[in-house]
Amino acid sequence: MAIKLIKLIKENKGGFIGALLLFFLMIMTCYALLFVSTQSRLQWNDPIFWSDNPKTAAPEWFNIILKPFGYQLPEHKIFLQKDAIVNTLNDIDFKLENNTFSYQFDYNEFPSSFDIPYTITLGEIPPILEIYVKRPDNLEFKIYSNSLESVNSLQNSEDSSANSVNDNITAPTLINSNTVSGRVFSSSQEVRNSLSEYSNIFKFPISGLSSEKIIYSQTDSNTPLKGEYEFIFSVYSFDSDTILQNLKLVIQGKVFGLLGTDEFRRDVFFGILIGTPVALFIGITVALSSSFIGLFYGLYSGYTGKKAGTFMLTIIDIFISLPTFIIFIIISIHFGRNLLFLIGLFILFGWPGVALLNRTFSIQIKNYPYIEASKLMGESDFKIVLRHIVPQLLPFTLANFALSVPIAILGESALSFLGFGDPSFPTWGQMLQEAHASSAETLGYWWWIVSPGLMISITSIAFILIGRSLENLVKIGKRR
């Protein structure tokens, strides 16, 4: 028994590899369906969910590859509030609370940027926020100061909540009646203005440089200063109701995650994981439906000859001679972007090819003597087709089904690449479309391009290999 199995595997090596790849994809699908809740799937398009990730960061294992070259990219670090050292100074009128984060910087290259999101519950009197950076050479820069007075006049938080993740506006926004949340970006104008007051310390002109190039730089030349940096977030509060709730220091690195991040700070690995069930669903549904519709249509049109059969053949011919891709595009522009509509379109243009092949086979089989014998015995047409012809065509249909899946997957990703995909489901083609729209290939974000395309290729190759070996098995079966 085991010897037979090994022999079967050896003969169809391709099919075995294809089955392994498919198994790996099914594991990913099950993991995605079971462990990723619907809510986190919907957050793919929500920029606030991803705001702690770096933009366009390479995968973490890229640093391992770069080790022989002696060049390391800085890692992404998130410091939570509990990591900070707090010391409070209580006085009669006010309370000063200092949260200190210490960050060890040892890289050869400037870090990209940092940002500090905070949430404060307000009391009667608005507090004052200040942020200081203490460098290894004991210089202390004050980079941000805000008194939060103007926040009380903000009535609605909806249009300003969109601003809070914009890179250049750090305006604090009112979440509910007494909670304010904001985000200080190192690239904002206020930080730059505060830093320009220290320009006499540096021996080179700092007017055009970005904030992190000034903060982390040595004083005599514009090279990074290694050592321990302290970020001090101070809150001067004037009544006892002011509480600092949620404070983080996010040092934007250039590597993050298993497969990197994209332009919108989303994790590429997460995107691929939730794209797997969608791709498999589309491929299998389209291939299954078009194979079965083609099977029965072709059978029937081959079996009933003369006028009805030739008329059905003409319909098939019309569908075959149209260039489907261009018609897809024109129809999709007019009717909008919906997943089920896309599937319907693929099925509509997919069944004629299968139907033609099935019709040819059915014509051949129709002329065999045993069919004539059954007819003479009085079997109805329907039963003849079902009992004699269909079992012969079934292995061939299976092989066709396995070969139509990659056509459906590739077609769907091509249409999503053009922008006609369903925006609520992130598919691999959509990720590639966003990559192309952000010029990822000219800017060199290879992790964003390779990952979804590789998954498309693996899925297609798996089904092609399985289909090929099924074809081989069918041919061997026929020769017997």
Partner 1 sequence: MMDQVRLQAINSVSGPSLENPQLQQFKTNEERQKLINQQIKIQSQSLGLDEPWYSPKKLFNGIYKILTLNLGNSRFFTTYNGSNSVNELILEKLPNTILLFTTSSITIILIGLFYGTYLASKEGSLPEKFISGLAATSRGVPDWWFSMIMIVVFSFFLHIFPSRATPLSSPNEPGYVLDLLYHMTLPFITLVIIGFSPFVYYVKYIVLRILDEDFIKTLRIMGIPKKNILYVHALKNAGPQLSTILGLGITASLSGSLLVEQIFDWPGMGNLFYNAITQNDSPLIIGLGYISVLIYLLTRLILDVCFTYFDPRIKSGET
The answer to whether residue 414 forms part of the interface with partner 1 (CB under 8 A) is yes
Taking CB under 8 A as the criterion, the residue among 55, 134, 226, 436 binding partner 1 is 436
Is 236 or 463 the residue whose CB approaches partner 1 more closely? Answer: 463
| Closest approach of partner 1 to the CB of residue 70, in Å | 18
Whether residue 55 contacts residue 261, with contact meaning beta carbons closer than 8 Å, is answered with yes
Is 213 or 468 the residue whose CB approaches partner 1 more closely? Answer: 468
Taking CB under 8 A as the criterion, the residue among 11, 14, 52, 379 binding partner 1 is 14
| Closest approach of partner 1 to the CB of residue 437, in Å | 10
Whether residue 212 contacts residue 84, with contact meaning beta carbons closer than 8 Å, is answered with no
| Closest approach of partner 1 to the CB of residue 220, in Å | 34
Task: Tokens for 118, please give them.
Answer: 């905070």
Backbone phi, then psi, for 235, in 5-degree steps? -120, 120
Is 215 or 462 the residue whose CB approaches partner 1 more closely? Answer: 462
Taking CB under 8 A as the criterion, the residue among 291, 460, 470, 471 binding partner 1 is 460
The answer to whether residue 65 forms part of the interface with partner 1 (CB under 8 A) is no
Q: Which residue has the tokens 């590899």?
A: 17
The answer to whether residue 418 forms part of the interface with partner 1 (CB under 8 A) is yes
The answer to whether residue 357 forms part of the interface with partner 1 (CB under 8 A) is no
| Closest approach of partner 1 to the CB of residue 315, in Å | 14
Taking CB under 8 A as the criterion, the residue among 264, 281, 292, 446 binding partner 1 is 446
Is 385 or 432 the residue whose CB approaches partner 1 more closely? Answer: 432
| Closest approach of partner 1 to the CB of residue 446, in Å | 5
Taking CB under 8 A as the criterion, the residue among 20, 65, 201, 443 binding partner 1 is 443
Q: Which amino acid is at 64?
A: I
Is 127 or 302 the residue whose CB approaches partner 1 more closely? Answer: 302
Is 210 or 457 the residue whose CB approaches partner 1 more closely? Answer: 457
Taking CB under 8 A as the criterion, the residue among 19, 348, 461, 473 binding partner 1 is 461
| Closest approach of partner 1 to the CB of residue 286, in Å | 16
CA distance 41 to 132: 38
CA distance 89 to 432: 53
Taking CB under 8 A as the criterion, the residue among 78, 225, 464, 474 binding partner 1 is 464
Q: 95-105 and 85-90: which strand pairing?
A: antiparallel
CA distance 191 to 196: 9
Is 256 or 445 the residue whose CB approaches partner 1 more closely? Answer: 445
Is 390 or 464 the residue whose CB approaches partner 1 more closely? Answer: 464
Q: Using CB under 8 A, count the residues that bind partner 1.
A: 43
The answer to whether residue 384 forms part of the interface with partner 1 (CB under 8 A) is no
Binding track, positions 302-341, relative to partner 1; x by CB under 8 A = --------x--x-------xxxxxxx-xx--xx-------
Residues 97-156 that bind partner 1 (CB under 8 A): none
Taking CB under 8 A as the criterion, the residue among 413, 416, 427, 430 binding partner 1 is 413
The answer to whether residue 450 forms part of the interface with partner 1 (CB under 8 A) is yes
Taking CB under 8 A as the criterion, the residue among 266, 463, 470, 471 binding partner 1 is 463
Backbone phi, then psi, for 476, in 5-degree steps? -65, -40
CA distance 192 to 351: 62
- Nearest alpha carbon to residue 187 among 171, 173, 206, 170: 170
Is 72 or 457 the residue whose CB approaches partner 1 more closely? Answer: 457
The answer to whether residue 225 forms part of the interface with partner 1 (CB under 8 A) is no
- Which chain residues interact with partner 1 by CB under 8 A? 14, 310, 313, 321-327, 329-330, 333-334, 363, 406, 410, 413-414, 417-419, 432, 435-436, 440-444, 446, 449-450, 453, 456-457, 459-461, 463-465, 468
